[in-house]
């Protein structure tokens, strides 16, 4: 796994409280929760938070005023599935430049991630708000950043250890033994801490949803145990996939919705896996924002070429996403940053586009990257909305994303912790990222 030293970023955050108030005038505010807009609004920002919104907001003397006529304002975006130890701090400006102001880190070196989080909070470097799981909880496996558990006692000890270290939630992987999984679920419930991740290979998604797992990650986790069993029996992966027909999928998704189990489809990652090695991905200009050492790591760690069955699998995943949305499952937008051909910040817009392609409305897709992850993390009153008292993490767009989800990528400016990053600053941040990435 590549490692890179910290480096200073342009426009490092100053103390928001010391900045003058900022007023965005005549802006159209997009409400992802309702799928509606309010035109002619003034949004007043003070001390890093939204102080007022409306058509008759009093702007204090000395405030910086921006005429945002013709622009659309959305809450700052979330990437609900990243691995920052792979993307490294080089990803931070690219995330912000793409309007990603919050991330859910799904496993990595907790000490390293917490140092980045400390520096971001102190204003030493620019970066998103980070919610993190710390090391994966997994069974025996030759992989880094793991708490290996084999027994129920070890599972309970892992929960207590991670809770003591102050993680925001627990991430599990697919080698957790069955008995240990249920012990972890019970201990996590007792401790009041959520757990998320893969479904262990000797369990079903239905069992995980009933046991209290708060989110399932990757569409592949819905069929991973069936595919593993098919491999052991020398069966076709297509036959295993067919077992999750629409009737079975509806039963699963209704159970997930009833138990408030969210799903992070990671369609961007599924697409990248399915098209690995394609000319389209190999020549993508957004590779310039990925550290050269990470690109080399990609070529070493992700060499296996996709099979013909993988295309069928991807098409089925799109169908399943539409079904789960229809059945009321909460969908979280996440990219799996760190995986091959995932580009920091940029790929969240790919994810939203693929969710709409799969059958979500633009409003539903936008909720998956704003309201839904904030609610999942229990910070709905802090993030994910545009209303008084919420953190001033905002994205100013050229067009209406409720009509065309691709408008989320047409960014005029970003407000991060109350501080305006205009297009010129965002472009400069990306230029620094490209320069640093090419030399690392």
Q: How many CB atoms lie within 10 A of CB 315?
A: 12
Task: Give 319's contacts (C-beta < 8 A, 6+ positions apart).
Answer: 246, 358
What pLDDT score was predicted for residue 387? Answer: 95
What does each C-alpha distance from 138 to 38, 263, 324 come to in angstroms? 47, 20, 27
What pLDDT score was predicted for residue 18? Answer: 65
What are φ and ψ of residue 321, in 5° steps?
-60, -45
Number of domains in the chain: 2
My answer on whether 234 and 246 are in the same domain is yes
Cα atoms in the Cβ-side hemisphere of radius 13 Å centred on 370: 30
The 10s digit of each residue's pLDDT in 320-342 is 999 999 999 999 999 999 999 99
Query: Distance between CA 390 and CA 384 in Å, rounded?
Result: 8
Under 8 Å between Cβ of 77 and 100 = yes
Domain end, chosen from 356, 376, 396, is at 376
What pLDDT score was predicted for residue 243? Answer: 79
Is 153 inside any structural domain?
Answer: no
pLDDT at 429 over 80: yes
Provide the pLDDT confidence category of residue 10 given band limits of 50, 70 and 90.
very low
Provide the pLDDT confidence category of residue 303 given band limits of 50, 70 and 90.
confident
Reading the block at residue 253, the tokens are 């998704």
Is 141 inside any structural domain?
Answer: no
The 10s digit of each residue's pLDDT in 248-285 is 999 999 999 999 999 999 999 999 999 998 889 999 99
What pLDDT score was predicted for residue 398? Answer: 98
Is 47 inside any structural domain?
Answer: yes
Listed residue (322, 313, 199, 201) closest to 261, CA to CA: 199
Query: Distance between CA 174 and CA 158 in Å, rounded?
Result: 16
Average pLDDT over residues 196-221: 96
The 10s digit of each residue's pLDDT in 14-46 is 444 568 999 999 999 999 999 999 999 999 999
Cα atoms in the Cβ-side hemisphere of radius 13 Å centred on 367: 19
My answer on whether 305 and 397 are in the same domain is no
Listed residue (33, 24, 78) closest to 51, CA to CA: 24
The CA-based angle 263-363-126, given to 5 degrees, is 75
The 10s digit of each residue's pLDDT in 126-164 is 999 999 999 999 999 989 999 999 999 999 999 999 999
Query: For the ranges 98-102, 239-243, 394-398, 436-440, which has the lowest average pLDDT?
Result: 239-243
pLDDT at 81 over 70: yes
My answer on whether 227 and 357 are in the same domain is yes
The 10s digit of each residue's pLDDT in 210-257 is 999 999 999 999 998 888 888 788 877 777 777 789 999 999 999 999
My answer on whether 44 and 56 are in the same domain is yes
Reading the block at residue 301, the tokens are 């760690």
Provide the pLDDT confidence category of residue 8 given band limits of 50, 70 and 90.
very low
Provide the pLDDT confidence category of residue 302 given band limits of 50, 70 and 90.
confident
DSSP 3-state of 170: strand
Percent of the residues in the chain that have a pLDDT greater than 70, as a whole number: 96
Provide the pLDDT confidence category of residue 12 given band limits of 50, 70 and 90.
very low
My answer on whether 362 and 395 are in the same domain is no
Task: Give 440's contacts (C-beta < 8 A, 6+ positions apart).
Answer: 2, 4, 88, 90, 291, 292, 293
Average pLDDT over residues 344-359: 98
The pTM for the full model equals 0.94
Domain interval for residue 238? 77-104+117-128+195-376
The DSSP-derived string for 385-415 is --STTSB--EEEESS-TTT-GGGGG-EEEEE
Average predicted confidence (pLDDT) for the chain = 93
Reading the block at residue 341, the tokens are 């051909």
What pLDDT score was predicted for residue 268? Answer: 98
Is 39 inside any structural domain?
Answer: yes
The CATH number linked to 274 is 3.20.20
Indicate the burial class of 369 (C-beta count within 10 angstroms; 0-12, 13-18, 19 or more): buried
pLDDT at 11 over 60: no
Indicate the burial class of 399 (C-beta count within 10 angstroms; 0-12, 13-18, 19 or more): middle
Query: For the ranges 90-104, 246-260, 303-317, which has the lowest average pLDDT?
Result: 303-317
Query: For the ranges 97-101, 313-317, 373-377, which has the lowest average pLDDT?
Result: 313-317
What pLDDT score was predicted for residue 161? Answer: 98
Provide the pLDDT confidence category of residue 67 given band limits of 50, 70 and 90.
very high
The CA-based angle 26-79-107, given to 5 degrees, is 155
pLDDT at 367 over 90: yes
Cα atoms in the Cβ-side hemisphere of radius 13 Å centred on 314: 20
My answer on whether 257 and 313 are in the same domain is yes
Is 167 inside any structural domain?
Answer: no
Under 8 Å between Cβ of 369 and 14 = no
My answer on whether 272 and 355 are in the same domain is yes
My answer on whether 279 and 421 are in the same domain is no
My answer on whether 350 and 210 are in the same domain is yes
pLDDT at 118 over 60: yes
């Amino acid at each position: 796994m590549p490692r890179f030293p910290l480096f200073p970023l342009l426009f490092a955050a100053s103390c928001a409280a010391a900045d003058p108030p900022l007023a965005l005038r005549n802006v159209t505010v997009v409400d992802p929760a309702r799928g509606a807009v309010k035109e002619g609004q003034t949004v007043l920002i003070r001390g890093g938070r939204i102080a007022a919104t409306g058509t008759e907001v009093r702007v204090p003397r000395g405030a910086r005023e921006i005429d945002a006529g013709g622009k659309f304002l959305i809450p700052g975006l979330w990437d609900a599935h990243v691995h920052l130890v792979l993307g490294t701090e080089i990803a931070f400006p690219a995330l912000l430049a793409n309007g990603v102001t919050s991330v859910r880190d799904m496993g990595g070196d907790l000490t390293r991630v917490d140092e980045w989080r400390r520096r971001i909070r102190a204003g030493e470097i620019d970066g998103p708000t980070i919610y993190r799981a710390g090391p994966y909880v997994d069974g025996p496996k030759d992989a880094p950043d793991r708490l290996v558990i084999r027994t129920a006692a070890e599972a309970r000890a892992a929960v207590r250890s991670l809770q003591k270290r102050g993680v925001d939630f627990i991430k599990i992987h697919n080698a957790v033994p069955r008995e240990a999984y249920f012990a972890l679920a019970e201990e996590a419930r007792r401790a009041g801490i959520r757990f998320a991740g893969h479904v262990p290979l000797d369990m079903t998604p239905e069992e995980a949803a009933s046991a209290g797992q708060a989110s399932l990650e990757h569409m592949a986790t819905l069929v991973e145990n069936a595919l593993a069993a098919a491999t052991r029996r020398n069966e076709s992966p297509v036959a295993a996939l067919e077992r999750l027909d629409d009737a079975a999928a509806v039963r699963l998704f209704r159970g997930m919705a009833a138990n408030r189990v969210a799903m992070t489809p990671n369609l961007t990652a599924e697409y990248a896996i399915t098209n690995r090695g394609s000319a389209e991905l190999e020549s993508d200009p957004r590779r310039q924002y990925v550290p050269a050492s990470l690109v080399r790591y990609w070529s070493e760690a992700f060499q296996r070429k996709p099979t013909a069955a993988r295309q069928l699998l991807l098409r089925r995943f799109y169908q399943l996403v539409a079904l789960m949305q229809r059945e009321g499952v909460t969908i979280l937008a996440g990219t799996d940053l760190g995986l091959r051909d995932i580009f920091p910040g940029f790929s969240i817009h790919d994810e939203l586009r693929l969710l709409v392609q799969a059958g979500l409305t633009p409003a539903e897709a936008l909720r998956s990257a704003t309201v839904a992850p904030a609610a999942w993390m229990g910070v709905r009153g802090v993030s994910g909305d545009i209303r008084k008292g919420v953190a001033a993490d905002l994205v100013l767009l050229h067009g209406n994303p409720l009509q065309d989800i691709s408008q989320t990528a047409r960014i005029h400016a970003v407000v991060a912790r109350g501080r305006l990053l205009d297009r010129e600053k965002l472009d400069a941040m990306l230029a620094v990222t490209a320069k640093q990435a090419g030399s690392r």
